[in-house]
Amino acid sequence: MCLTTFGNIKKAETDIMVYKVLLNYGLSHYSPYMTHFEWKVGKINKIKEPSFFERLRERNITKTVGSGYFHSYAKKVDAEKLTTLWDDRHSVFSAVIPKGTWYYEGYDDTTGGPAYASKKLKIVDEVE
């Protein structure tokens, strides 16, 4: 999952409600693209990869944001589209980009829907 954006990085002025797809292994949750990172539900997760691992490429006036950020969806329907690409161990979770977090806003390269890439993300709960 990569995010394409036309804008610059922003700082969240309020909490931003989003959706995140996670891979479930028993009581543990992992990102389909970051299987080395275990998500903590109910806590603010911070990206631990150093900035030199970030892939940020200029393409005319757009940027593609890859690793080094947590990716999430603005709409539940787009997160649900992603779960159909994998098996039933993948679930949609409600999440929050906390106030004060640096983030990009754009669209997802897989679903085409509005999405975010942020430095922090709090997983709230699994969506039914």
The HSE-up count of residue 29 (CA atoms within 13 Å, CB side) is: 18
* pTM for this prediction: 0.85
What would the pLDDT profile of 53-97 be if each residue is shown by its tens digit?
A: 345 555 556 677 877 788 999 999 999 988 777 777 788 999 999
- How confident is the model at residue 52, as a pLDDT? 38
What would the pLDDT profile of 86-128 be if each residue is shown by its tens digit?
A: 777 788 999 999 999 999 999 988 888 999 999 999 999 989 7
3-state helix, strand, coil in the chain (%, to 5): 10, 50, 40
Contact 85, 108 (CB under 8 A): no
Going along the chain from its start, the domains and CATH numbers come out as 3-126 (3.20.170)
